[in-house]
Each structure stands twice: as structure tokens, then as C-alpha cells.
């Protein structure tokens, strides 16, 4: 598979070279692909109990060569956009995490492969299906010097749930009925429904702990200069210019390594790269279209790894004839996904075999991407009563990927007698018009989530938030849909990762075979670093953890 050639790490320290060797040996296992080093080999996933791997204020990912890491210096970063906010509740952009993860400590952390890692909580225990106890690290303080207490954890969750906060992440913690503060260092989460993704959720915005006193005192200004307990504090945020972070000295004696992080907002990707090449930036993201150039650029480090994002056509299964599984299957198998990967995505990424990518533990390595078979498509359409062909409209977001992609799909579908009309819209209108049942199909992508339930339930359950069929008055879930619903609900009832994996493997197989979605590709992330950067660790979620980095003297 040519896409795999993309995952490589150029130039690089002995350590990364060793890691590269491990990749080969590990036979491209998911953990190796996303560049885990040895210390992540511990059992992953929310087992009955979890423990910290180190004493005191250990960072989420400890580094075996920590003593060899140089301390000090200012890391210069060029990112494409400002954060939408620095308040974990009201910020809403996928790029905000690049900032938030260095400023906030999470209750637990999502590891590079989405396994659960200690955060402010060093230990946790699933007491029963609806009760989870967390033990907080002793001695942790917020940037204003106040201690991190159980009450702050309760405050954080309550604040998300309060409609007055207008939190974009409120939906994720609706199943948290109450956070019981046992004492300063122990809290118990009482759930009103089994929530297997709870650890992944707490590794994201909802678990970024905010101090009750300082947050209430700051009011709406909290969004600009939040007080938190992470390794870096916010010095300033000049909108459209930069965010400046400095080391939180009380975080730990020997961590973080950097003195400061200066994140410049540079909208144009070519200019970002120019900043790297001219020594004005140490970290920049590399777009698929610029990857080939980046690979041949000397004097930089390039890391490429698989992301959780996939590209797809959303299918409204409430709309006739898409209610008929055979029609959906015909649409799915009349596409040439390899041509799409090569022609539209510059061969960057991998053919999608399901909604879970190699970035997560729920990737189904035995599932093959749907293969092109025009004859079969014609037979399926004939069986469904469309031997003379079929016509429908598909709404797209007219951006540089999807405009040509839709043209290619139109041509590919035409071979099976399917006449598709392209309806181009802006991102917001496209989504809204699809939801409002104006069009039966929407060419889109999904950024992916830390836990398979968050992706699969929301997109493929008959009541999932992104399943727009549910907004159709005529919607009656088919027998196949109900069967899948039952499996998705069952997988949700389990905390054991290995058991869940088996169930998600089956669910994904059904989703693809019965064409509840037409997926094309799994995307890859790429970052270019200056040669002085050390300690870069790619995470499956594609978000940077700048606080883990150091600079060579």
C-alpha cells in the first residue's frame, strides 16, 4: 500500500531512528505507527484500576532520556489560526487543543494511541458501572498558587453543564449526574448511564480542570487569560498575532523543559513553512499539498502519522431510495477509492476501511476497504428496480478538495448509470441544508474522536447527533439499522477495551457492508520541526503537546 510510505520520520536523533526500526519490527502495528516509544507499552485502556507511572508531578508522558534533555529556551510555533478561545467550555475549534493542552492539566490524559494516562488524577477505579472514583495528585497547584482540590473538579463539570456557560462540550458530560467531593484529593463521578468513553471525554476539554475561585472572579476574561494548573501559564494573547506562554515554575522541579512558548498566528501555509526555513519558527503543520516539498527540504525534521479523521459521504437513510440497502451498496462499490486517494489527496493517507483509523485502538485491521465493482453495482441497482439508472443531488462544501472530488465521483457513478447533480454550498450552509433534509447526501469529513463510541454513536446510531435521518419525519429505522443500534448500545455498556474492540470490529464491518456511509480515506497529519526541537511525540488526535518539547542548546 503506497500510502504507508508516507509514514516516515526524516532526519533524526538516534532515538527516533530506533523507533523507526521498531516500526518495521512491529509490522506497522497501530501503536508503532503513531510513534509510541517504549514507555507507552504498559497496558492501555481503562481497566478496573489505573495508577500513575511515577511519583509527584510526573508529566503524562515521561521520557527515559529526560536527564539528557536541555532546559530553557523559547519554542517558536507558527499555527494557521488563533484559538477560538482559551476557556475550555466556550472555545469550540479543533485547533484550540494545541494551546489548551499546555495550559491545562486534564483529570486524565489521552495517550498517543488514546489509551488512558494519568493526569491530575493519579489513580482511578471503576467502582461499578455508574460510579468512578478518582484520586488527585497531592501538591498540584493552579497558576495563582491555590491548590487543586476535588471541589475544582466538581466545579469544572458543573460549569460545563450549566446552560448559562454556553459550553460547546456540555453534551459530553450530560451522563455525569453528579461529582461527589469526598475530600480535597478524592472525587467520585456518579453517572446516570454507562459511559464507556468517559475517560476519553475527560482527556479532552471536559477534563481540563478550572479553579472555582479564579474562574468565577475572572468572568468572561477567563477566556483570554485562564488560570489553570498545566505546565505553562498564559502571558498574553494578541488576537490574530500571537499567544505567549511561559513556564509555570511550580509545576515540577524538572518539568517542563522550555522557558516559554511563542505561538504566532500565520494564516498562509506557505508563509508558515517560510518561517520554519528562515529560522523564525520551530514547529509548523504541513498541508497534504506541501508534503512532497517538505520531504525534500533539508535541515528540518518531518513527522507524518495517521489521524482520526476520515473523508466520507453522509447518507440520509431516511430518504428513498437510500432506505434500500442495495442502492447504498451500489453507490459505495461503484467508486474507485484509490483514484480518489491519488487524484484528490495527493496519495496522502490511506483507503478507509471503516470510521476508525489506525490512530486508535479500535481500528479493524482485518477489514478491507470496499472495492470498485461496477458490474456488481449495476446488478444491485437492477435488483432494487433501477436497471435504467438513478438520479439524485449531493450537497458539497465547495473547497479545494471537495469540488474536484465531487466531479470525480460524478464521473465514477455515471459508469453505473447513476446521475448525480452537485450542489455547492459554504461549509455552514451545506451542513444545515443537509440536516434540514434538502439533500439526501452530503460530501463531508469527520475529524474523529478519542473514543470509538463518540464517532460511531454520533454518526451511525439512529439517534446519533450527526445522523441526519433522525430529523426526517418519515424516518423509520430499517431492520439493519436497528440491529446496528443494538450493537452500538451494547458496546457502550462496557468499560473493558479488549471486549469493546471485538464489538466495534463487527459494527464497522456491518456499517461498511451495508453502506451506512461511504468512506474514502483516512487522513494523515504532518508536522515539520526545526532541527533544534527534541522530544516530539505524535498523538493520534493530531493535537500538539508543546509542553513536552525541548530545544537543543
| Cβ 94 to another protein shortest distance, Å | 8
> From the list 56, 279, 299, 404, which residue makes contact with another protein (rule: CB under 8 A)?
279
> From the list 426, 476, 498, 499, which residue makes contact with another protein (rule: CB under 8 A)?
426
SS3 200: helix
| Cβ 442 to another protein shortest distance, Å | 10
Q: Which stretch binds another protein (CB under 8 A): 44-52, 358-366, 420-428, 507-515?
A: 420-428
The answer to whether residues 150 and 181 touch, using CB atoms and an 8 Å cutoff, is: yes
| Residue 466 lies near another protein (rule: CB under 8 A) | yes
Q: Extract the C-alpha cell encoding 184.
A: 480535597
Distance CA(376)–CA(374), nearest Å, equals 5
Distance CA(50)–CA(126), nearest Å, equals 9
Residues contacting 304, CB < 8 A, separation 6+: 6, 7, 8, 9, 291, 524, 525, 526
Task: Give the chain's end-to-end CA distance (angstroms, integer).
Answer: 40
Distance CA(13)–CA(528), nearest Å, equals 15
| Cβ 121 to another protein shortest distance, Å | 25
| Cβ 174 to another protein shortest distance, Å | 8
| Residue 50 lies near another protein (rule: CB under 8 A) | no
The answer to whether residues 482 and 323 touch, using CB atoms and an 8 Å cutoff, is: no
> From the list 62, 165, 437, 470, which residue makes contact with another protein (rule: CB under 8 A)?
165
| Residue 427 lies near another protein (rule: CB under 8 A) | yes
Q: Which stretch binds another protein (CB under 8 A): 52-60, 65-73, 139-147, 235-243?
A: 235-243
> From the list 388, 400, 428, 473, which residue makes contact with another protein (rule: CB under 8 A)?
428
Q: Which stretch binds another protein (CB under 8 A): 125-133, 166-174, 315-323, 331-339?
A: 166-174
Q: Which stretch binds another protein (CB under 8 A): 105-113, 319-327, 443-451, 520-528?
A: 443-451
Q: Extract the C-alpha cell encoding 410.
A: 460524478
Residues contacting 277, CB < 8 A, separation 6+: 297, 299, 300
- Residue 88 or 430 with smaller CB distance to another protein: 430
| Residue 296 lies near another protein (rule: CB under 8 A) | no
SS3 369: coil
- Residue 149 or 459 with smaller CB distance to another protein: 459
| Cβ 468 to another protein shortest distance, Å | 10
Query: Nearest 5°: phi and psi at 23?
Result: -60, -45
| Residue 267 lies near another protein (rule: CB under 8 A) | yes
- Residue 49 or 166 with smaller CB distance to another protein: 166
> From the list 16, 44, 110, 167, which residue makes contact with another protein (rule: CB under 8 A)?
167
| Cβ 553 to another protein shortest distance, Å | 22
> From the list 63, 169, 206, 455, which residue makes contact with another protein (rule: CB under 8 A)?
169
For another protein, what does the binding mask look like between residues 200 and 229, x meaning CB under 8 A? --------------------x--x------
> Nearest 5 degrees, angle CA 256-CA 258-CA 263?
115
Provide DSSP, 404-454.
HHHHHHHHHHHTTTEEEEEEEE-HHHHHHHHHTTS-SEEEEEE---SSHHH
- Residues from 60 through 89 that contact another protein (CB under 8 A): 78, 84-85
Which position has the grid cell 495517521?
A: 306
| Residue 384 lies near another protein (rule: CB under 8 A) | no
| Residue 20 lies near another protein (rule: CB under 8 A) | no
- Residue 55 or 163 with smaller CB distance to another protein: 163
| Residue 241 lies near another protein (rule: CB under 8 A) | yes
Element (H, E) at 267: none
Query: Nearest 5°: phi and psi at 128?
Result: -150, -175
- Residue 102 or 169 with smaller CB distance to another protein: 169
For another protein, what does the binding mask look like between residues 93 and 122, x meaning CB under 8 A? x-----------------------------
Q: Which of 200, 202, 186, 219 is nearest to 90 (CA)?
A: 219
| Cβ 280 to another protein shortest distance, Å | 6
| Cβ 167 to another protein shortest distance, Å | 7
| Residue 193 lies near another protein (rule: CB under 8 A) | no
The answer to whether residues 130 and 190 touch, using CB atoms and an 8 Å cutoff, is: yes
- Residue 86 or 335 with smaller CB distance to another protein: 86
| Residue 450 lies near another protein (rule: CB under 8 A) | no
SS3 255: strand
- Residue 112 or 431 with smaller CB distance to another protein: 431
Distance CA(132)–CA(187), nearest Å, equals 8
Distance CA(495)–CA(505), nearest Å, equals 16
> From the list 56, 343, 389, 465, which residue makes contact with another protein (rule: CB under 8 A)?
465
Q: Which stretch binds another protein (CB under 8 A): 99-107, 151-159, 441-449, 483-491?
A: 441-449
The answer to whether residues 510 and 487 touch, using CB atoms and an 8 Å cutoff, is: yes
- Residue 434 or 544 with smaller CB distance to another protein: 434
| Residue 403 lies near another protein (rule: CB under 8 A) | no
Residues contacting 227, CB < 8 A, separation 6+: 142, 143, 144, 210, 211, 214, 215, 218, 233
The answer to whether residues 425 and 396 touch, using CB atoms and an 8 Å cutoff, is: yes
Which position has the grid cell 510510505?
A: 5
Quick one: angle between helices 337-344 and 402-414, nearest 10? 150
Q: Which stretch binds another protein (CB under 8 A): 2-10, 53-61, 232-240, 502-510?
A: 232-240
Binding site for another protein (CB under 8 A): 78, 84-85, 92-93, 163-171, 174, 220, 223, 238-241, 264-268, 270-271, 274-275, 277-280, 397, 426-432, 435, 444, 446-447, 465-466
Amino acid at each position: 500500500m503506497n500510502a504507508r510510505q508516507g509514514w516516515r520520520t526524516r532526519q533524526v536523533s538516534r532515538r527516533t531512528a530506533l523507533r523507526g526500526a521498531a516500526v518495521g519490527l512491529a509490522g506497522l502495528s497501530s501503536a508503532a505507527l503513531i510513534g509510541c516509544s517504549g514507555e507507552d507499552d504498559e497496558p492501555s485502556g481503562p481497566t478496573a484500576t489505573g495508577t500513575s507511572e511515577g511519583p509527584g508531578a510526573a508529566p503524562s508522558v515521561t521520557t527515559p532520556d529526560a536527564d539528557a534533555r536541555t532546559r530553557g529556551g523559547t519554542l517558536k510555533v507558527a499555527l494557521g489560526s488563533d484559538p477560538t478561545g482559551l476557556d475550555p467550555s466556550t472555545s469550540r475549534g479543533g485547533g484550540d487543543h494545541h494551546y489548551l493542552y499546555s495550559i491545562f492539566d486534564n483529570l486524565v490524559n489521552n495517550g498517543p494511541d488514546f489509551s488512558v494516562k494519568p493526569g491530575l488524577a493519579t489513580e482511578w477505579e471503576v467502582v461499578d458501572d455508574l460510579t468512578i472514583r478518582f484520586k488527585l495528585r497531592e501538591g498540584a497547584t493552579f497558576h495563582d498558587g491555590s491548590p487543586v482540590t476535588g471541589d475544582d473538579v466538581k466545579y469544572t463539570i458543573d460549569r460545563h453543564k450549566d446552560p448559562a456557560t454556553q459550553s460547546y462540550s456540555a453534551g459530553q458530560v450530560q451522563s455525569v449526574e453528579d461529582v461527589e467531593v469526598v475530600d480535597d484529593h478524592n472525587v467520585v463521578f456518579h453517572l446516570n448511564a454507562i459511559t464507556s468513553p468517559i475517560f476519553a471525554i475527560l482527556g479532552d476539554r471536559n477534563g481540563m480542570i478550572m479553579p472555582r475561585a479564579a474562574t468565577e472572579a475572572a468572568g468572561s476574561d477567563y477566556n483570554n487569560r485562564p488560570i489553570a494548573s498545566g505546565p505553562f501559564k498564559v502571558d498574553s494573547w494578541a488576537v490574530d498575532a500571537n499567544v505567549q506562554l511561559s513556564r509555570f515554575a511550580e509545576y515540577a522541579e524538572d518539568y517542563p523543559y522550555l522557558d516559554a512558548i511563542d505561538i504566532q498566528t500565520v494564516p498562509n501555509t506557505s508563509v508558515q513553512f517560510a518561517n520554519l526555513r528562515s529560522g523564525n519558527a520551530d514547529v509548523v503543520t504541513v498541508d497534504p499539498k506541501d508534503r512532497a516539498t517538505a520531504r525534500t527540504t533539508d535541515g528540518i525534521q518531518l513527522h507524518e502519522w495517521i489521524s482520526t479523521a476520515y473523508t466520507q459521504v453522509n447518507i440520509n437513510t431516511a430518504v428513498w431510495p437510500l432506505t434500500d440497502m442495495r442502492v447504498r451498496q451500489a453507490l459505495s462499490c461503484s467508486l474507485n477509492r484509490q483514484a480518489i486517494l491519488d487524484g484528490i489527496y495527493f496519495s496522502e493517507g490511506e483507503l478507509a476501511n471503516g470510521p476508525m483509523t489506525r490512530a486508535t485502538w479500535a481500528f479493524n485491521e482485518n477489514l478491507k476497504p470496499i472495492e470498485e465493482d461496477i458490474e456488481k453495482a449495476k446488478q444491485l441497482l437492477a435488483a432494487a428496480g433501477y436497471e435504467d439508472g438513478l438520479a439524485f443531488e449531493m450537497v458539497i462544501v465547495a473547497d479545494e478538495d471537495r469540488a474536484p472530488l465531487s466531479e470525480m465521483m460524478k464521473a465514477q457513478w455515471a459508469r453505473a448509470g447513476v446521475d448525480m447533480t452537485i450542489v455547492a454550498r459554504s461549509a455552514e450552509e451545506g451542513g444545515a441544508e443537509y440536516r434540514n433534509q434538502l439533500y439526501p447526501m452530503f460530501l463531508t469529513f469527520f475529524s474523529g474522536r478519542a473514543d470509538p463510541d463518540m464517532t460511531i454513536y454520533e454518526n451511525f446510531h439512529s439517534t446519533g447527533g450527526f445522523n441526519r435521518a433522525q430529523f426526517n419525519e418519515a424516518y423509520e429505522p430499517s431492520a439493519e439499522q436497528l440491529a446496528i443500534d443494538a450493537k452500538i448500545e451494547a458496546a457502550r455498556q462496557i468499560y473493558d477495551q479488549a471486549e469493546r474492540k471485538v464489538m466495534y470490529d463487527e459494527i464497522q464491518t456491518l456499517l461498511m457492508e451495508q453502506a451506512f456511509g461511504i468512506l474514502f480515506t483516512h487522513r494523515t497529519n504532518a508536522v515539520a520541526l526545526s532541527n533544534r526541537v527534541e522530544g516530539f511525540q505524535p498523538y493520534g488526535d493530531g493535537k500538539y503537546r508543546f509542553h513536552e518539547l525541548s530545544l537543543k542548546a
